[in-house]
Amino acid sequence: MTSIRLPTTRSPGSVLGAAPGVTERAEAHRATGGDAGATDPDALLRHLDASGLRGRGGAGFPAAVKLRAVRDRGGVPVVVANGEEGEPGSVKDRWLLRARPHLVLDGLAHAAAITGAVRGYVYLSDPEAGASVRRALAERAPHLPVEVVETDHTYVAGEESAVVRRIDGGPALPTSKPPRPFERGVGGAPTLVSNVETLARIALTAAHPGLRRVIARSTLITLSGGDAEPVLTEVPYGVPLRTLAAWHGTAAPGGALMGGLFGGLVDARALDLPLEPDALAAAGTALGCGAIRFLAPGACPVATAADAVGHLAAESARQCGVCVSGTAAIRDTVHALAEGTAGPDATARLERWSQTLPGRGACGLLDAAAATAGSLLRAFPERVRSHLRGPCPDCAAGTAVRPDSRGRRLAVPVPEVAMAPTSRIPLPVLKGTS
């Protein structure tokens, strides 16, 4: 079970809200400042520029720049709330759609007002999230026509060109670029594909512009790994990773798998880094989708890497030959390392692939596999060398287990969200809430 932990300091600019274990109904949402129609679009765009809000889907692109690019493209744009989170260690987007659908829909309406869009979509794969969004739409005035589009849950289904392709009636598979969705997206129109947490923070900025920096510099984080149960929480930028590990319940972690499968592995020394996108990027890792998996003391990072690349190889869209062959080669080599059967040239091959394969596929899946392999070599060279000498004692003792090609051990369950018939009911006590 994944627990929800409220911030120690409460703020009206919190995405978690006051009652994250209950679906927020329209009445409660309006009582806390929710309203998609009362903010001047140009003023809101200036607030977003000043706040420095970055997208929360993984790439961290400035939200105001993305909105402006769609607005300035011409034509009649389309806006899409992207709630299909493919990273196995992340649950924030599905929780948001289940618990705070009105906040996301407000953000979508504000994005439409800024860009000039006249229709929107909510794109997801979680049936409970879909039901929650549809209930919320039925409670709202129809300022913006919105359609819910469901897809199968895969790693690549949330990539923005795959989102466009699925909404247009095709498979949820990435396409080559250009054009990018802001140039030519749904139905050929300029399209904003925005992560649901990004939209929630746009809505909060509209409701509380005086808190714009606080809103932009806080983020939802999924913490997992070790023996502690997963935690979904919201923290400000700047908190040391080591502090988050202690808060999660992983004592003296040996490192972490960062950004879902996007930021690669870091060793224990990197846990003194602050949770801040630029600082993490400068250190060779990434915040990504905000999912961090800590390595318990004694856990084998080689086995963790094998889980990650095995999952990525299994999730390949199988459209790009270089991705199919590249992810399979990385998977097989890292798995051989984990089993103690790799040849002496394994590290040289992994190093070469980590440098030559990124950027060669239609999406970021191959990049993630290559980055994971490269980060393993950089962060844990001695553990890799020990695996070349033979089976790992930690693996043999069962502390780290045989790699799972489907990545099931990396998955995190979505926190439970109760359905509230009205906004005036006793709220449940959430495990782990402070």
Whole-angstrom distance, CA of residue 420 vs CA of residue 297: 41
Give the tens place of pLDDT for each residue, 316-358.
Answer: 988 999 999 999 999 999 999 999 999 999 999 999 999 999 9
CB atoms closer than 10 angstroms to residue 411 = 15
Whole-angstrom distance, CA of residue 241 vs CA of residue 196: 24
What CATH fold (topology level) applies to the domain 301-410? de novo design (two linked rop proteins) (1.20.1440)
Q: Give the range among 108-112, 313-317, 393-397 with minimum mean pLDDT.
A: 393-397
**Nearest-CA neighbor of 306 among 411, 400, 413, 412?**
400
Q: Is the pLDDT of residue 302 over 60?
A: yes
Is residue 149 within a helix (H) or strand (E), and if so which, with residue range? strand 146-150
- Would you call 355 helix, strand, or coil by DSSP? helix
CA atoms within 13 A on the CB side of 410: 31
Distances from the Cα of 125 to the Cα of 132, 157, 177, 210, angstroms: 12, 9, 24, 35
Residue-level pLDDT at 37:
61
What CATH fold (topology level) applies to the domain 217-295? Ubiquitin-like (UB roll) (3.10.20)
Each domain of the chain, given as residue ranges in start order, spans: 20-215, 217-295, 301-410
Rounded (5°) CA angle 349-351-355: 115
Q: Is the pLDDT of residue 109 over 90?
A: yes
Q: Distance from CA of residue 167 to its chain's centroid? A: 20
Give the tens place of pLDDT for each residue, 185-237.
Answer: 999 999 999 999 999 999 999 999 999 999 999 999 999 998 899 999 999 99
Q: Is the pLDDT of residue 259 over 70?
A: yes
Q: Is the pLDDT of residue 173 over 70?
A: yes
CB atoms closer than 10 angstroms to residue 416 = 17
Q: Give the range among 125-134, 191-200, 384-393, 425-434 with minimum mean pLDDT.
A: 425-434
* Contact (Cβ atoms closer than 8 angstroms) between residue 303 and residue 372: no
Phi, psi of 117 (to 5 degrees): -70, 150
User: What is the dihedral sign for C-alpha 386, 391, 395, 398?
Assistant: negative
Paired tokens of 125: 């794969």
Length of the chain: 434
Q: What percent of the chain has pLDDT over 70?
A: 93
Higher pLDDT, 31 or 63: 63
**Which of the listed CATH numbers 3.40.50.2300, 3.40.50.300, 3.30.565.10, 3.40.50.11540 matches domain 20-215?**
3.40.50.11540
Residue-level pLDDT at 427:
36
